[in-house]
Structure 1
Amino acid sequence: MPDKKQQLQESGLVEWPVFSELIAMDEDEEGFSKSLFKTFVDQVLETFDEIDENLEEKNLDKLSGLGHYLKGSAAALGLNKISSQCERIQNYGHKNNFDNFELNNEDIVIDSDDYWVELIKDALKHARSGFDSSRKALNDYFDDDL
């Protein structure tokens, strides 16, 4: 059975060079990296709730800002699957379909606020999935519930 480090590396959920630098900081302060990830989990859960609220209000500017905020936090921790979906939220909030994502809903007028909200909902669904997978992998790695 592969060890926890190898399992996490092979999961593809973390960018290993970034993650390993964070883990190395534990030598100076025990539990430092785990505390960073616990803080991130709290941030994500709170921000996902804010995104849900702003989706209802179709507040694209606020959604873009929330996507930008989480993108940076996720990237700093090497959680690239979450970061890339948050980048989509950020761009769609600015009405920028930078990745040419096609929505499979012919009832929605392209470039309407509803269109951008639907694109953000897709990105959020994938961000949540990436978060759940990453959280489980990190729980296994740290042998703790984050």
Structure 2
Amino acid sequence: MSPTTHDEERSEEGSVGAPDLSALGPNIDVLTFEQILEMDDDEDEREFSRSIVFGFFEQAEATFVKMEDALKDKDLATLSSLGHFLKGSSATLGLTKVKDSCEKIQHYGAKKDEDGTADEPDEEKCLERIKETLDAVKEEYDEVEKSLKKFFGPAP
């Protein structure tokens, strides 16, 4: 009987937050996100992971504003750079859809196709694709922001 009790305790300890993680949905890579959570000293407070996630929210929102400005200015190089920047930040947290869309913006800004394999010399076509992808990434971001805010609770 003792091993069963031990297994149950271990199972409960090992699954802290697990139901919430499964509720995060398909837009967040749970394994990557769990690595961030493992860095927390206190699983109740989650001070470290919370600060990283809420810092990402600020960073992403500021980057979206810069992307909108660069889109108005038809500045493909800046759009590519901002896409690259936000791709890295979102990848760190496991925000897969956001990362993938930012990578497309990076490629379009470099006058490439969405995979970055073929040249796309038509700058207007690239700008139109960036506009469409930027609209999509903002929706994807809103979804993960809601899920993560629900997971962490209100901002400190």
* Alignment TM-score, normalising by the size of structure 1: 0.85
Regions of 4+ moved over 3 Å: none
CA offsets per residue over residues 34-74 of structure 1, 9 Å max, x none? Answer: 10011100000000000000001100001000000000000
Mapping 1:1-146, distance limit 5 Å:
3-8=19-24, 11-27=25-41, 30-99=46-115, 111-145=121-155
Distance 1:74 1:61 in 2: 20
> Compared with structure 1, are the counterparts of its residues 84 and 54 closer, same or farther at alpha carbon in structure 2 (3 Å cutoff)?
same
Quick one: higher RCO (CA 8 Å, sep 6+), 1 or 2? 1
Distance 1:91 1:52 in 2: 17
* Structure exhibiting the larger radius of gyration computed from Cα positions: 2
The code of the aligned residue for 2:22 comes to Q
CA offsets per residue over residues 113-139 of structure 1, 9 Å max, x none? Answer: 221110101111111011000000001
Number of residue-to-residue matches in the alignment: 134
CA offsets per residue over residues 70-101 of structure 1, 9 Å max, x none? Answer: 0000001111110000000000001100449x
Corresponding residue for residue 10 of structure 2: none
* Alignment TM-score, normalising by the size of structure 2: 0.79
Tell me, which stretches of 5 or more residues in structure 1 are unaligned?
A: 101-109
